[in-house]
């Protein structure tokens, strides 16, 4: 069934050096179904942080330099899940996030801007991950998402043992490495958007996303391929 989602965003707050910006993204699916998530953006991508099942949740942000961010959230909301997957951002997850629950009165209300409406046209389950066909402003676009942490054969613990974040930031690097090694001509067609637990890759080129999905599936079956992709991402500065 097609699904309509209304997207809104708060004003954003830049890091001191201007490398990153943080804002709250609010998505409303139905009158009683919504999510608000803190999101750090950077050139070429971004990272999703904590999230709440409510629309327009105001949060406070304090930057301690470019690579440490304090996120303050209302203490009257259900405690969010906080773990290694949403406590870092930046290339390879090298920047860290600290969380503080504070009274709602201590957080300045945010201003909200409507970004648009997205309509999900089709959802296709793949061997690894999901491919969505969406309509935005009457134009079709595509989105491939993969959440390795939820897989029965998740690689997250092994990746963390290597000093990696193990979630979306790590898989951003892995996908970059896979594509750079095997089909670098489609890199410019891809928008890599890591979240705490997983990775979303967007494109107007459906075939390019199917190639990404096939590479991810191959890497899950071939540990050597996975490690080679990690090495390539590190070599190119896409993973630390």
pLDDT value for 1:
44
- Cβ-in-10-Å burial (0-12, 13-18, 19+) of 182 comes to middle
Selected residue with higher pLDDT from 114 and 181? 181
Q: 1-10, 13-22, 102-111, 217-226: which has the minimum mean pLDDT? A: 1-10
Max avg pLDDT among 26-30, 97-101, 235-239: 97-101
The helix/strand count (H/E) of the chain reads as 4, 14
Backbone angles phi, psi at 116, to 5 degrees: 145, -175
Residues 30-67 have pLDDT tens digits of: 777 899 999 999 876 788 899 999 999 999 999 999 99
Degrees (nearest 5) of the Cα angle 169, 131, 174? 25
pLDDT of residue 3: 66
3-state secondary structure of 113: strand
Transcribe 164-198 into DSSP letters: ---SHHHHHHHHHHHHHHH-GGGGGG-EEEE-SS-
pTM score: 0.63
- 10 Å CB burial of residue 39 (0-12, 13-18, 19+) is buried
Q: What is the pLDDT of residue 12?
A: 95
> CA dist 225 to 124, 175, 230, 232, 239, Å?
25, 11, 9, 11, 16
What average pLDDT does the chain have?
A: 91
The full set of domains in the chain, from first to last, is 3-112 (no CATH), 118-235 (3.30.200)
Please give the pLDDT value at position 2: 52
Residue 118: predicted pLDDT = 75
Q: Tens digits of per-residue pLDDT, 64-118? A: 999 999 999 999 999 888 887 789 988 778 899 999 999 999 999 999 998 877 7
Per-residue pLDDT tens for 132-170?
Answer: 998 877 788 999 999 999 899 999 999 999 999 899 889
Integer angstrom CA distances of residue 211 from 122, 206, 237: 18, 9, 23
Question: Are the CB atoms for 192 and 198 separated by under 8 Å?
Answer: no
């Amino acid at each position: 069934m097609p699904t309509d989602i209304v997207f809104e965003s708060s004003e954003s707050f830049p890091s001191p050096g201007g490398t990153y910006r943080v804002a709250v993204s609010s998505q409303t699916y139905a009158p009683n179904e919504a999510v608000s998530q803190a999101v750090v953006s950077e050139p070429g991508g971004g990272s999703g942080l904590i999230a709440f099942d409510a629309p327009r949740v105001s949060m406070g942000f304090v930057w301690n330099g470019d690579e440490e961010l304090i996120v303050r959230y209302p203490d009257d909301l259900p405690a969010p899940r906080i773990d290694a997957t949403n406590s870092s951002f930046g290339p390879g997850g090298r920047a860290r996030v600290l969380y503080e629950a504070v009274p709602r009165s201590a957080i300045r209300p945010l201003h909200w801007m409507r970004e648009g409406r997205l309509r999900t046209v089709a959802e296709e389950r793949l061997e690894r991950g999901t491919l969505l066909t969406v309509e935005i402003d009457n134009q079709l676009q595509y989105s491939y998402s993969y959440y390795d942490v939820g897989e029965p054969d998740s690689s997250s613990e092994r990746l963390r043992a290597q000093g990696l974040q193990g979630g979306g930031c790590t898989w951003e690097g892995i996908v970059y490495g896979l594509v750079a090694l095997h089909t670098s001509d489609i890199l410019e067609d891809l928008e890599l958007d890591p979240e705490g637990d997983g990775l979303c890759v967007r494109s107007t080129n459906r075939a390019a996303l199917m190639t990404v999905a096939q590479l991810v599936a191959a890497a899950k079956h071939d540990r050597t391929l996975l490690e080679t992709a990690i090495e390539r991402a590190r070599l190119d500065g896409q993973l630390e």
